[in-house]
């Protein structure tokens, strides 16, 4: 891998190019409060945002408050979210988290990394996204499938493990850019540099790599 100094210089060029493409990046998941954000992010694991939004459009009408989730019947909830995949674990985790947040946090979304990681089915990726969008806190870089694939392609990491990739990105990127980098790279991965085989010469960031 290139030296840290070279990676930092490259990272600044990548950020500048991404800012031109996506000046005000937004998460593609639809939600109307912090709890719905957490639910949507949990459901998005191994599932497209498009499918999650389709499922949550119905889900958020059926379960209006966090208390509704805490009281939900596991098997019924599984059927409500089945098309997002891994629905048994996701249902168990969401119902558990609703109870934890009600009992330990007075129904409010936790605002520290430690508290977020204590929730069921929440790893650093989910915690980073929720802390940033719910509380404006930048604790790390959310490493999802797009960031994992593109960070390696762009030469910002040599690793495949999300935690090691996050550490490399936290070293290379200015802290204030950590979370918007994720949002921009996700859009870039969808719009230009998809996982399907293609000619990278047509990708806007190809000149920087």
List the chain domain ranges: 4-25+140-207, 34-135
Q: What number is the average pLDDT over the span 187-199?
A: 91
Q: What percent of the chain has pLDDT over 70?
A: 100
Runs of H (alpha helix) within 44-123: 49-62, 66-70, 74-81, 87-105, 113-117
Question: Which of 62-66, 84-88, 98-102, 199-203 is the least confident region?
Answer: 199-203
pLDDT attached to residue 41: 98
pLDDT at residue 171 is higher than 80: yes
Show the tokens assigned to 82: 């089945």
Q: How far apart are CA 152 and CA 2, in angstroms?
A: 12
Cβ atoms of 141 and 166 within 8 Å: the answer is: yes
Q: For residue 207, name the pLDDT band (cuts at 50, 70, 90).
A: confident
Q: Report, at the CATH architecture level, how domain 34-135 is classified.
A: Orthogonal Bundle (1.10)
Q: How far apart are CA 187 and CA 179, in angstroms?
A: 13
pLDDT attached to residue 206: 86
State pTM to two decimals: 0.94
Q: How far apart are CA 136 and CA 47, in angstroms?
A: 25
Domain 4-25+140-207, CATH among 1.10.1040.10, 2.130.10.10, 2.60.40.10, 1.10.1670.10 = 1.10.1670.10
pLDDT attached to residue 208: 80
Cβ atoms of 205 and 188 within 8 Å: the answer is: yes
Sign of the four-CA dihedral 189, 186, 121, 90: negative
Q: Mean of the per-residue pLDDT values for the chain? A: 96
Show the tokens assigned to 19: 């800012």
Task: Give me Rg for the CA atoms of the chain.
Answer: 18
Q: How far apart are CA 96 and CA 150, in angstroms?
A: 33
Instruction: Please list, residue by residue across 25-44, b when 16 or more beta carbons sit within 10 angstroms of its beta carbon and e when fewer do.
Output: bebbbebeebbbbbbbbbbb
Cβ atoms of 168 and 11 within 8 Å: the answer is: no
pLDDT at residue 1 is higher than 90: no
Least Cα distance to 27 among 191, 183, 185 occurs for 183
Show the tokens assigned to 171: 């070293």
Q: How far is CA 22 from CA 17, 84, 118, 198, in A?
A: 9, 27, 33, 22
Q: How many CB atoms lie within 10 A of CB 166?
A: 24
For the segment 72-91, what is each residue's pLDDT rounded down to a tens digit?
999 999 999 999 999 999 99
């Amino acid at each position: 891998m290139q030296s840290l100094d070279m990676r930092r210089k490259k990272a600044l060029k990548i950020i500048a190019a991404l800012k031109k493409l996506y000046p005000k990046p937004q998460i593609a998941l639809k939600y109307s409060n912090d709890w719905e954000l957490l639910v949507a992010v949990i459901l998005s694991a191994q599932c497209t945002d498009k499918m999650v939004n389709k499922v949550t459009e119905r889900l958020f009408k059926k379960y209006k408050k966090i208390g509704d989730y805490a009281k939900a019947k596991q098997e019924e909830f599984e059927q409500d979210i089945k098309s997002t995949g891994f629905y048994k674990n996701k249902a168990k985790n969401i119902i558990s988290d609703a109870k934890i947040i009600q009992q330990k946090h007075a129904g409010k979304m936790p605002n520290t990394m430690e508290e977020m990681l204590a929730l069921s089915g929440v790893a650093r990726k989910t915690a980073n996204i929720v802390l940033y969008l719910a509380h404006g806190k930048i604790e790390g870089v959310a490493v999802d499938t797009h960031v994992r694939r593109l960070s390696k392609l762009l030469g910002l990491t040599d690793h495949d493990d999300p935690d090691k990739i996050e550490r490399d990105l936290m070293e290379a990127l200015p802290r204030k850019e950590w979370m918007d980098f994720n949002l921009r790279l996700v859009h870039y991965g969808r719009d230009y540099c998809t996982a399907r085989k293609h000619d990278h010469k047509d990708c806007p960031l190809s000149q920087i790599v």
